[in-house]
Structure 1
Amino acid sequence: MKRIGLVDIGSNTIRLVIFEYSEKTGLVELQNIKTPARLYQYLDEDKVMKEEGIEVLCDTLESFQKVADKFEVAALYPVATAAVRQSENITEVIDKVKAHTGIKMRIISEKEEAYYGFYAVVNTLDYEDGVTVDIGGGSTEVTYYEDKELKFSHSFPFGVVTLQKLFFKGKNHNDSEAIEEARAFVKEQLSSLKWLGMRKVPIIAIGGSARNFARIHQSLSEYPIAGVHGYSMTKENLEYVFSTLVDSTMDQLEDLDGLSKDRQDIIVPSGIVFTTLYEEVTATEFIFSRKGLREGITMSILEEDYKHPFDKNEVFKESLRNLAYTYNIHHEDAMQRQKLADLLYFELEKQGIIEGDKHQKKLMLQAAYLFYLGSYIDSDASSQHTYYIISNSSLNGVDHRERVKLALLASYKSKSLLKFYMDETKWFSDKEKSEIQMLGSILKFAHALNVSNTQVVHSLYLEKQKDHYDLVINYKGDPIAEEYQADRQKKHLEKITKSKIHIIFTENLH
């Protein structure tokens, strides 16, 4: 297990994130604090960082060092981006910080900043191709990748603070002339990248401004589940949030749920970049990634100490494994549930009772691994806890809709409870509801066949008789608990087969 303190010294905010990593739990965020330092405002007209700005930086780093010490981090990694990077007196800033605090800052280049954001995205989201955008206070990084491999990257020397100073200084946040001038400037800058236009891929947005856009939209649409990582917005969604911001007074922005107080004056410039970029790329959707520069740097540091700690091709699988470990899922029991669910699915498909679907089956087996993980909190309310935990967990590599579907399957108890959960989102069609109920029924019965957690069932098969089905279950050991539960839960399979089922337990003597 290793703890790392990453200090992101941006143009707008300075943030400390403390990560803990182990091979069993993956990368976990333990602490996340920030201060709106606005370092960019301390750069004079000649791009020289004023003494006042250096003092703010030193005071913040000293404060963050004390927090890191309490968390017993292995090392503190302060990394600086545009505001420090663009300072003409950069050497003086680095030396004074080292002299006052004992901390040596690392200056991230434009190329590195773009790369680390991309690296975090492909290791925590499952989009094969995409454009990433990370708007900071003083710079904006964009990349284009294919098959999770970086193809192009660029850093623009403007961010939300820069745009605010260039076009909105002394004006209202929603000044129409300023908005049009800023939009024309951003469009000209974006179109200068010949590799960016008409990509027709998702835009994955990183950073605080994008997070605020996602949260505002969730608030306006009364989004039913938690989390913004992997949250998807359409072009219309983006424009709706942007028009809401423009149509609001500054007083109204203060009461707008999802908008941070320290971003009220710079949120419109970020919206200009997002909406203009969407048009330039002819994007298919706008995705928010909660993982960015800080996670990308931390992952790179960990790769020096661990062998392949992250697999960009198995993002969701790793996320599920880490969740299972957190809630004390026993691997052998989970594997047995998967095996039994797989056997039941195959038998139902072989008999022509269900129509097999590869994606559907894969999701069912993932749910089998996590089935009733909520019993870790309370066995009597395991279904309720399971649904809440999975549907509201920030899982990597899966969109929110699939996450809720996984939660519905892993928590399946009865048709009535399933309907209650589904009413929360109202996301699924009648056909999808029937499929989820069918898969949940398979999982419920598979769980019954290993209720003692002794893996007594070795195999099973289904035989069609004249007026019923025989389910022959081969076991080795003592299946007394499984026999009782199988008889109680066979109604779930009978709903699928639309026929009576006779369960026959046969002992494996070999």
Structure 2
Amino acid sequence: MMERIGLVDIGSNTIRLVIFEFDSKTGLNEILNIKTPARLSQYLTDDLTMNQDGIDVLTSTLHSFKAVADKFKVNELHPIATAAIRQSTNQHAIIEHIKNELNINIKIIPEQEEAFYGFYAITHTTDVENGVSIDIGGGSTEVTLFKDKAMIEAHSFPFGVVTLKRKFFENKDHNDKSAIKAMEKFLSKQFEQLPWLQDREIALVGIGGSARNVARIHQSEHSYPIGGVHNYTMSEEDIDEVYTIIKKSSRDALKDIDGLSRDRIDIIIPAVSVFKTLFKKINATHFTFSRKGLREGYVMKTIAERHPREFRKENIQKDALYHLANEYSIEESSAKQRVKLAQSLLTQLIELDKIQVTHKEQALFVEGAYLYYLGRFIDSDSSSPHTYYIIANSMIDGFSHEDRVKLAMLASFKNKSLLKFYNQETKWLRGKALDNIQFLGGIIKFVNALNISHTNPVERLELRHDSNGFTLYVHYIGEPIAESYQSLRQKKHIEKILKENLSIIFTKS
């Protein structure tokens, strides 16, 4: 059964409405994401009381978002509040006012819970086993330490990009050197308070809008060839590069930096400084970005409580591909038949020492066989290019960007020329790695020909070698007339691996 959940994330910097649609076959999908830069933390007085202007901004925003959620027929609306309202001394009066005015119940997320939801999203949508997560909002910064995808420590710092800007950059330029130096000294001391952050030598995982902007700026600078920032990885030098670009730019020039949101121009330096400082403290191996954070973690945990088989962190890739296949209406029986025949033929080619592949390549091969030509859902005449661009540019949980591109190449394989054309986009593969993708893709295309009628007539394959060369015995039931014709057309892909001619004999089981 399909469910629609509306989540209103009431942060210190922005208020955002995200509407999610969940179905057990196609998974969790975002169907609407809108925000307003409310900057609620600026309405907190010295004694941390939110003034009437701030309450009015909150009320009008929630009124508008509720109308949108009603139009989208959400089953339930979850307004959750973090630092700005959590820190307000008059939080109960705010919640009561919203309840009376709009009949909306705001839930305040405690600090530890906020950190948990970010951790939950990371460990259920990425392949990062060990890491330190960081989610810097407008008024607080949450960090967690996790090992083997289990949370070890969590902490919330009472500062965010808006409060750092107010503390260090009041009446100063966004790139004021003395302000930056004072802020980074402050951040270093803050992070030193937690012994478990020191010198971990693991991944630093950023979530939230500020981290997303850093990733997008870097991608834009390097004309990154595929879409999406989920699982995008950067080195310390890459972070320094983004930092330098922002620091050297005038305020007016910042508006022209691709990847930088206009409503983050005045707060991006504090954000990058936080990432830089923490990267050094934990001696991170790399910085990676998770597109899914607090909001996704909250919704995923809510759904998992009702559907215990969903969002299993040990099954991320398999579940993601299952949902993708259903989204593009891949016929399951044919997909399973393709996988069975592809695995059988590859195993025999390996045993004959005709191909050497890694475990990772074998895993991608199986997944590529399952998803083969999913782009026919859009247009059967252009199945290959549609398949490549869908997979290469989709946010597939659990996959690195390079593995996503390899999977796209396998699932879209048509011929060597088109494969080289796709590879020109990224230029990530060369030599044996590219050759193996060609050979493995060729196997998938060949076995697809052995079920071109989608009736599963082939029971098993037997590849033999004798003095006369190679013969493939195709044991079948039914009437494989189309398969007999198509396999002869596609056997050249197997002959390239064998480096010999291949005879094909269909034999009735």
Q: TM-score, normalised by structure 1?
A: 0.99
Partner of 1:171: 172
Q: Deviations over 1:270-306 (max 9, x none)?
A: 0000000100111111111111111111112112322
| Alpha-carbon distance between aligned partners in 1 of 2:471 and 2:401, rounded to the nearest angstrom | 39
Amino acid of the structure 1 residue aligned with 2:88? S
Structure-2 residue corresponding to 1:453: 454
CA shift, 1:354, in A, is 1.3
1:2 aligns with: 3
CA positional deviation for 1:467? 4.3
Could you tell me which residue of structure 2 aligns to residue 354 of structure 1?
Answer: 355
Residue 271 of structure 1 aligns to which amino acid in structure 2? V
What aligned pairs does 1:322-401 form with structure 2 within 5 A after superposition?
322-401=323-402
RMSD: 0.8
CA contact (8 A) 1:183 1:273 kept: yes
For 2:132 and 2:309, the matched residues in 1 are separated by 25
| CA deviation string 1:114-149 (max 9, x = no partner) | 000000110110111111000000000000001110
Instruction: Report the CA distance between 1:92 and its aligned residue.
Output: 1.1
Native 8 Å contact 1:201 1:282 kept in 2 = yes
Answer whether contact 1:467 1:499 (CA < 8 A) is retained.
no
User: Would you say the 8 A contact 2:13–2:41 is kept in 1?
Assistant: yes
Q: Is 1:468 paired with 2:469?
A: yes
Query: How far does residue 177 in structure 1 lie from its aligned partner after superposition?
Result: 0.5
SS of 1:4's equivalent in the other structure is: strand
Instruction: Provide the residue aligned with 2:42 in structure 1.
Output: 41
- Structure 2 counterpart of 1:159: 160
Aligned-pair CA distance for 1:356: 4.5
- Following the alignment from structure 1 to structure 2, what is the Cα–Cα distance between the partners of residues 389 and 40? 40
Can you list the C-alpha shifts for 1:172-199, whole angstroms capped at 9, x where unaligned?
0000110110000001001110011111
- What one-letter code is carried by the residue in structure 1 that aligns with 2:217? I
Amino acid at match of 2:363: K
Describe how 1:23-422 pairs up with structure 2 within 5 A: 23-422=24-423
Report the CA distance between 1:357 and its aligned residue: 2.8
Q: When the two structures are superposed, what TM-score results if normalisation uses the length of structure 2?
A: 0.99
**In the TM superposition, what whole-angstrom CA distance separates every residue of 1:466-486 from its partner, at most 9, and x where no partner exists?**
242011110011110100010
In the alignment, is the contact (CA less than 8 A) between 2:357 and 2:436 conserved in 1? Answer: no
Report the secondary structure of 2:58's partner residue: helix
Letter matched to residue 283 of structure 1: A
- What amino acid is the match of 1:286? F
Which whole-Å CA distance do the structure 1 matches of 2:105 and 2:441 have between them?
55
Is this contact kept in 1: 2:217–2:260, CA < 8 A?
yes
CA displacement 1:82-129 (0-9 Å, x = unmatched): 000001111111111111111110000000000000001101101111
Structure 2: how far apart are the matches of 1:427 and 1:471?
34
| Aligned AA (2:95) | I
> Following the alignment from structure 2 to structure 1, what is the Cα–Cα distance between the partners of residues 86 and 240?
33
| Distance in 1 between residues matched to 2:410 and 2:49, nearest whole Å | 58
Residue of structure 1 equivalent to 2:424: 423
CA distance in 1, matches of 2:308, 2:454: 33
Distance 2:304 2:411 in 1: 33
Contact map agreement 2:471 2:503 (CA 8 A) in 1 = yes
The CA distance in 2 between the partners of 1:249 and 1:426, in whole Å, is 34
Aligned to 1:440: 441
SS of equivalent to 1:394: coil
Cα distance between partner residues in 2 of 1:489 and 1:261: 53
CA distance in 1, matches of 2:231, 2:468: 49
Shift of 1:307: 2.6
Equivalent-residue separation in structure 1 for 2:393 and 2:184 (angstroms): 36
SS in 2 for 1:195: helix
Q: Is the 8 A contact 2:132 2:143 kept in 1?
A: yes
Query: Which runs of 5 or more structure 2 residues have no equivalent in the other structure?
Result: none
CA contact (8 A) 1:467 1:500 kept: no
Q: For each residue in 1:298-325, what CA deviation from the matched residue of structure 2 results, as whole angstroms up to 9, or x when unmatched?
A: 1121123223221101111111010000
Q: Distance in 1 between matches of 2:77 and 2:321?
A: 29
User: 2 CA distance for matches of 1:140 and 1:280?
Assistant: 15
**Which residue number in structure 2 is paired with residue 502 of structure 1?**
503
Measured after TM superposition, the shift of residue 499 of structure 1 is 0.1
Cα deviation digits, residues 427-449 of structure 1 (max 9, x gap): 11212111111111111111111
Distance in 1, matches of 2:390 and 2:301, equals 29
Deviation at residue 161 of structure 1 after TM alignment: 0.4
CA–CA distance in structure 2, aligned partners of residues 239 and 282 of structure 1: 15
Is residue 20 of structure 1 aligned with residue 21 of structure 2? yes
Q: Which amino acid aligns with 2:394?
A: S
Structure 2 counterpart SS, 1:304: helix
**Number of equivalenced pairs:** 508
Helix, strand or coil for the counterpart of 1:473? strand
Letter in 2 for 1:352: D
1:150 CA displacement: 0.4
Q: Greater shift after overlay, 23-32 or 302-311?
A: 302-311
SS of corresponding position for 1:458: strand
For 1:506 and 1:308, locate their aligned partners in 2 and report how far apart those are by CA, in whole Å: 42
